[in-house]
Amino acid sequence: MTNDILKSLDIPKECYVNKPIFKKMIRENFTLNSSEKKILENDISNIKLEYILNKNNINISQYIDEDNKYLEINFLKVEISNINKLKQITTILQNIPKPLIIFFAYKNSLCINISPKRLSKSTNDKLVIEENYFTHWINLAEKNNLEKEFIDSLNINNQSFTNFLSFYTSYLDKILSLNASKFSGTLNINKDTKAILDDIATIEISISELKSKIKKETNFSDKVNMNIELKKLNDKLKDLKGSL
């Protein structure tokens, strides 16, 4: 099913690579700790480079400035056997020094990852991950209307062709729109959507941590103060979700 999604992107056949990426190559070229080596062996079933978009096969300009280096875009399809290790798997694969759009497949479900990278200030020409963005797991056999609309939006003709940075960013915007849709009910976004989603994630972590502290607190007065703070956080969270 993930293959069908990739085909539906309408990426030109000139960009099609269909090249396996072997685990040995990752082991030999990147520094992995013992936990990452175990995840690579046990939790990743297959890695394939599906498409490479570059100046030779598509009419999109390269983009370089003091912070960014977008010479091409690589589309990967990765079959995994343990969704609980998704973030660790992503960290391993995003060592590949290219702008990647990763389509993760688990059974009949799909998750897409985009991790913008910037040029390191300390190490010339090295790309450093800024942030990781994921969709939720989409059951391809039971997509809702928003998920169908999201997948349709991934078609290459819906992206910016100004340069490879804007092309990559347009795919990131599609992920942000899906993530925001669980609060807004639509795939519409604006210039503040990313910041609001980041704030929501931060507050949700604070709420979880505070709830844990409240459960352990034995002093009644401190517990009351914590509950007041919890209400403030929940009110702020509600306002942020409403702003989407």
- Tens-level pLDDT at each residue, the chain (244 residues): 788 899 999 999 999 999 999 999 999 999 999 999 999 999 999 999 999 999 999 999 999 999 999 999 999 999 999 999 999 999 999 999 999 999 999 999 999 999 999 998 777 678 888 899 999 999 999 999 999 999 999 999 999 999 999 999 999 999 999 999 999 999 999 889 999 999 999 999 999 999 999 999 999 999 999 999 999 999 999 999 999 9
3-state secondary structure of 12: coil
- CB-neighbour burial class of residue 102 (10 A; exposed 0-12, middle 13-18, buried 19+): buried
C-alpha torsion 233→239→242→244, nearest 10: -90
Query: Any bridge partners for residue 117, and if so which?
Result: 129
Q: pLDDT tens digits for 193-222?
A: 999 999 999 999 999 999 999 999 999 999
What does the alpha-carbon distance between residue 155 and residue 169 come to, in Å, rounded to a whole number?
Answer: 14
Sign of the four-CA dihedral 133, 161, 96, 139: positive
Q: According to the model, what pLDDT value does residue 127 have? A: 86
**Helix or strand run (H / E) with residue 175:** helix 164-184
* Tokens 């091409």, residue located: 72
Q: Which residue has the tokens 């925001």?
A: 180
Look at residue 124 in the predicted model and tell me its pLDDT: 63
The answer for residues whose C-beta is within 8 angstroms of residue 167's C-beta and 6 or more apart is: 53, 60, 70, 73, 159, 160, 161
